[in-house]
Structure 1
Amino acid sequence: MVHKANRPTVHDIRAMKARGQKISMLYVTTPEEAAAADAAGIDMLSIEGRFFTPEMREAAGRCFVQVGLPFGGWGKFEGRHLSTAEDYLRAAFHFTAMGGDCFYCAASLDIQKVLCDNHVPVVAHVGLIPSYITWTGWRAVGKTATEARAVWNHVKQLEAIGCFGAELEVVPDRLGAFISQNTPMIMLGMGAGPGADAQYLFAEDVLGCTDGHKPRHAKTYRNFAAEYARLQAERIAAFREFVADVNTGAYPQPQHNVAMPAEEFDAFTAGLAT
């Protein structure tokens, strides 16, 4: 396991922004994805709390890990949904002890402020916010001057309470660049154009894990969906061959069985007669 002292810190990520260094970021859900990200040199990982375990932290290696704190109807911590600032603080401290480096929190400003006041590195969310989607619909946010100002005002509110960064999702590229250049927060761009501090994608989109809808900003580098389909066909074929072997008696064969010396079996059956 990579010692914590050898992993990037909030200070290091801020220094990357100050240098104008681009930051790569992936959302992952498995230790295999986390380990691959570390081996590939990905800078930051986003891992939901429900997936974050000591095994995931070890697999993530030198990656800076953002842990997603459960919000609303998704995910639970200690068997319950988080609702109060104390709930969120307890969860953040728990995941800090496990090796989390910063924490995504989509709760209200007052809850986010409590986390910030307790020196928890908080990543908020601006632009298209999935947990608030009923207010905007699934669309780009900030294409008009009025909406752009609302996004900017939200950023300034987050700055004021001490947030470390924010996911900047599906906003016009010009707005994404302007915000990133004019805030000390780390802006993690997902469909926010090349001017965002980080470029953030889901591993499932990068790997082409699904055949369904992909967002405009997603880029697929491999076709895992086809590989998964091939593997599933191979599973079915193998299971059918097993069924056929069972039905014909081809399985099990002698090498699959446990042998018993004939004299021992004879002694066993003879003993049943007494």
Structure 2
Amino acid sequence: MMKKHKRATVADLLAEKGKRQLTMLRVTSLEEADAAEKAGIDIVSVPPSLLGPVFREIAPTLFAIPGLEYGDHVSAEDYLRAAFAALKAGGDAVYCAASLQTIRRMRDEGIPVCGHLGLIPSKATWTGGFRAVGKTAASAAEIWRQTKALEEAGAFAAEIEVVPGDVAAAISSNTSMLMISMGAGSGCDAQYLFADDVLGANRDHTPRHAKIYRDFAAEHDRLQRERIAAFTEFAEDVRTGAYPEKRHLVGIDDAELEIFLQRLKSETGDS
């Protein structure tokens, strides 16, 4: 078991391969990061902007993988600069779906990289859109080829998304990379879900692989109704004079007020 009194390293995670299922969440707020820390989650995917001293104060043991969004960077040098900035801000590795050349460049600088296999949203047009990948022998063989290429390029881990469980398990057992399953079964090394799906906060399409544990969408609707009601009551109080009341105001001694009013009168010439 990884020691929870300190943050895991890449070596610690790789040592867990084949021993137990790690847990991973996509979190996008400090509140979600705090909850993940307190829940004992192993790994989080985060937007780079979330990292920093406050993040690390509330989430000291989470292994954080900031995503270098595909298309936000162009050259390998762009990715390198973004990766170093993310690591400096408190990240432990970076997610990158760019070319193998770019991943090799980061590997050469000692930057831990998590790649992507199977359904890759930013490249889904090449595999038929947002649909499962690896359902034929030829498609599964292509994922295996990409796995070996990613491994050779120096990635330490790879998210494998919406691939048949048996295919993903076979691939996972034949690669040294940490294989992170998103809808690819329990034969990989980690299970990955988005916090929005776990919390039931996503109003869009819910992926087949997602499991909803709470109904935050309904709670958000309730809070919005309360928000509108509170704003409406405030506006009505202002219109009727019910707000502000005396208790909302700062007082002044009567004598001091009279001195001020006399001075104001003399300066403005009011009679």
TM-score by length of 1: 0.92
Distance (Å, rounded) in 2 between the aligned partners of 1:108 and 1:119: 17
Counterpart-to-counterpart distance in 2, 1:229 and 1:235: 10
Of 75, 79, 96, which aligns to 2:87?
96
1:111 paired with 2:110, answer no
| Aligned residues with identical type, % of pairs | 52
By how many angstroms is 1:213 displaced? 1.0
Query: How do 1:43-192 residues align onto structure 2 when only pairs under 5 Å count?
Result: 43-72=42-71, 81-136=72-127, 137-192=129-184
CA contact (8 A) 2:5 2:61 kept: no
The residue number in structure 2 matching 1:36 is 35
Q: Which moved more, 1:21-30 or 1:49-58?
A: 49-58
| Distance in 1 (alpha carbons) for counterparts of 2:5 and 2:204 | 41
Contact 2:30/2:50 (8 A) holds in 1:
no
Q: Does structure 1 retain, via aligned residues, the 8 Å contact 2:107–2:153? A: yes
Q: 1-side partners of 2:227 and 2:152: how far apart?
A: 55
Contact 1:49 1:70 in 2 (8 A): no
- The yes-or-no answer on 1:248 pairing with 2:211 is no
Q: What RMSD over aligned residues (CA atoms) do the two structures have, in Å?
A: 1.5
For the 8 Å contact 2:51–2:90, the answer to whether it is kept is: no
Please, which moves more after superposition, 121-130 or 50-59? 50-59
Q: Give the CA deviation at 1:233.
A: 0.8
Residue 273 of structure 1 aligns with an amino acid whose one-letter code is S
- Secondary structure of 1:50's counterpart equals helix
> Which residue matches 1:199?
191
Deviation readout 1:57-108 (Å, 9 max, x if unpaired): 3322211111111320xxxxxxxx4211112112211221222111101111
Q: Distance in 2 between matches of 1:52 and 1:170?
A: 28
Task: Report how far residue 5 of structure 1 moved.
Answer: 8.7
Report the count of equivalent residues. Answer: 262
Tell me which residue corresponds to 1:24: 23
Write the distance in 2 (CA, Å) between the matches of 1:42 and 1:273.
70
Q: Does residue 14 of the first structure (1) align with residue 14 of the second (2)?
A: yes
* C-alpha separation in 1, matches of 2:203 and 2:9: 36
Contact 2:6 2:60 in 1 (8 A): no
Matched-pair contact (CA < 8 Å) for 1:102–1:123: yes
Kept in 2, the 8 Å contact 1:32–1:59? The answer is no
Which structure 1 segments of 5+ residues have no match? Answer: 73-80
Structure 1 position 13, deviation (Å): 0.3
Deviates more, 1:47-56 or 1:207-216: 47-56
**SS of 1:99 mapped into structure 2:** coil
CA contact (8 A) 1:143 1:172 kept: yes
How many angstroms apart in 2 are the aligned matches of 1:39 and 1:228?
23
For 1:15 and 1:9, locate their aligned partners in 2 and report how far apart those are by CA, in whole Å: 10
Residue number in structure 2 paired with 1:273: 266
Name the CA distance, whole Å, in 1 between partners of 2:167 and 2:47.
Answer: 27
Which range moves more in the overlay, 47-56 or 163-172? Answer: 47-56
Q: 2:26 corresponds to which letter in structure 1?
A: Y
Which residues of structure 2 form unaligned runs of 5+?
none
TM-score normalised over the length of structure 2 = 0.92
Runs of 4+ aligned structure 1 residues displaced above 3 Å come to none
1:208-267: CA deviation from partner (whole Å, max 9, x where unpaired): 012321000000001111111111111111111111111111111101112222222322
